[in-house]
């Protein structure tokens, strides 16, 4: 199968799984279920799910075994976006070109929909048909990645340095936690779903995904500075307008572009420490496509 066919097959499997994952429950609290599904089923690149499913396959597992884990990571991602968009956080009215969750369902329902998705992610791990040892390890890894020393910590750093010059090491730590932790755990859960639970292997896979994640963030900064508004689907130059510290303001365009290439090729080298190049072809292509993109 070629790259696009694999991607489409995986994403179709995932969408069917996600659509069936939250039962309707009582009409008395229908609002929050609708709000949860609104964000969970609103698409996006599903990068985390693809990493999870394809690491599983590359390590000899079935992608279907990774589905509940991939879905759980996407639930955590969706929750984090809902809470990020709330007025007390980034106060964003739009998300992927559609009204953000609280614009449609109100702040209270959006807050609770985020809480509900986070909780449902752990329910999904706990009821996955993966074996109890792997299930509990998945809970631990996801809770660590999404928790106060992971994604939430990164969010706090981001808020704390708004409108201030951010030192390079703080910016990197922020990205490492805010987005890197969840991408890393996506890859790790793919391995766990394939029955690979050794610390060293999981650490290498985490490093691999974190590097790609960081490269992805730098590309975001580059596109905001130099992208094509039509292809990007949103106005460019917003970072500069807000006086935000980015990789571009810290290192300039050329060094940032070089860093993207270096990080991506280092990441793939990492991957090949635990995955045979033949089995890792899709993941390597995915890395290059994520970092050589126009939107």
Chain residues binding a copy of itself by CB under 8 A are 22-23, 25-26, 28-29, 31-33, 36, 79, 83, 86-89, 107-109, 111-112, 114-116, 118-120, 122-123, 125-127, 132-133, 135-137, 139-140, 142-144, 146-149, 152-157, 159-160, 170, 173-174, 177
The least distance separating a copy of itself from the CB of residue 163, rounded to whole angstroms, comes to 14
The pair phi, psi for residue 149, each rounded to 5°, is -95, 10
Question: Judged by CB, which is closer to a copy of itself: 114, or 213?
Answer: 114
Nearest to 1 by CA among 190, 281, 271, 292: 281
SS3 label, residue 22: coil
Question: Judged by CB, which is closer to a copy of itself: 23, or 242?
Answer: 23
Nearest to 92 by CA among 263, 215, 259, 242: 242
The least distance separating a copy of itself from the CB of residue 131, rounded to whole angstroms, comes to 9
Instruction: Report d(CA 221, CA 120) in Å as an integer.
Output: 32
Question: Judged by CB, which is closer to a copy of itself: 116, or 280?
Answer: 116
Question: Judged by CB, which is closer to a copy of itself: 68, or 280?
Answer: 68
SS3 label, residue 233: coil
Across 207-236, b (16+ Cβ under 10 Å) vs e yields bbbbbbbbbbbbbbbbbbbebeeeeeeeee
The answer to whether 86 and 227 have CB atoms below 8 angstroms apart is no
The least distance separating a copy of itself from the CB of residue 62, rounded to whole angstroms, comes to 21
Question: Judged by CB, which is closer to a copy of itself: 44, or 153?
Answer: 153
The least distance separating a copy of itself from the CB of residue 135, rounded to whole angstroms, comes to 5
The least distance separating a copy of itself from the CB of residue 110, rounded to whole angstroms, comes to 8
Task: Return the residue matching tokens 């996801």.
Answer: 142
Question: Judged by CB, which is closer to a copy of itself: 91, or 229?
Answer: 91
The least distance separating a copy of itself from the CB of residue 286, rounded to whole angstroms, comes to 27
The least distance separating a copy of itself from the CB of residue 145, rounded to whole angstroms, comes to 9
Question: Judged by CB, which is closer to a copy of itself: 139, or 250?
Answer: 139
Report the DSSP beta bridge partners of residue 95. Answer: 98
Instruction: Report d(CA 145, CA 148) in Å as an integer.
Output: 8
Task: Return the residue matching tokens 């390590």.
Answer: 59
Q: How many CA atoms lie within 13 A of 2 on its CB side?
A: 1
């Amino acid at each position: 199968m070629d790259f696009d066919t694999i991607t489409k097959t995986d994403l179709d499997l995932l969408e069917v799984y996600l659509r069936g994952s939250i039962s309707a429950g009582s009409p008395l609290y229908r609002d929050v279920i609708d709000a949860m599904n609104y964000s969970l089923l609103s698409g996006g690149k599903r990068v985390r799910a693809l990493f999870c499913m394809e690491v599983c396959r590359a390590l000899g597992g079935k992608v279907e075994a990774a589905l509940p884990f991939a879905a759980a990571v996407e639930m955590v991602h969706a929750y984090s976006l809902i809470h990020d968009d709330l007025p007390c956080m980034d106060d964003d009215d739009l998300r992927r070109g559609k009204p953000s969750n609280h614009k449609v369902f109100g702040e209270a329902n959006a807050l609770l929909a985020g809480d509900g998705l986070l909780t449902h992610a752990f329910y999904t791990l706990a009821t996955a048909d993966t074996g109890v040892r792997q299930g509990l390890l998945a809970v631990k890894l996801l809770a660590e990645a999404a928790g106060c020393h992971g994604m939430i910590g990164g969010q706090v750093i981001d808020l704390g340095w708004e409108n201030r010059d951010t030192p390079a090491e703080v910016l990197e730590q922020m990205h490492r936690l805010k987005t890197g932790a969840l991408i890393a755990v996506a890859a790790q859960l793919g391995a766990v779903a394939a029955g690979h639970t050794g610390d060293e292997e999981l650490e290498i896979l985490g490093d691999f995904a974190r590097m790609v994640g960081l490269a992805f963030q730098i590309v975001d900064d580059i596109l905001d500075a130099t992208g094509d508004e039509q292809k990007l689907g949103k106005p460019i130059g917003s970072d500069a307008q807000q006086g935000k510290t980015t990789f571009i303001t810290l290192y300039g365009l050329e060094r940032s572009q070089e860093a993207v290439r270096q990080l991506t090729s280092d990441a793939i080298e990492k991957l090949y420490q635990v995955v045979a190049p033949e089995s890792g072809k899709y993941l390597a292509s995915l890395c290059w496509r994520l970092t050589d993109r126009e939107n």
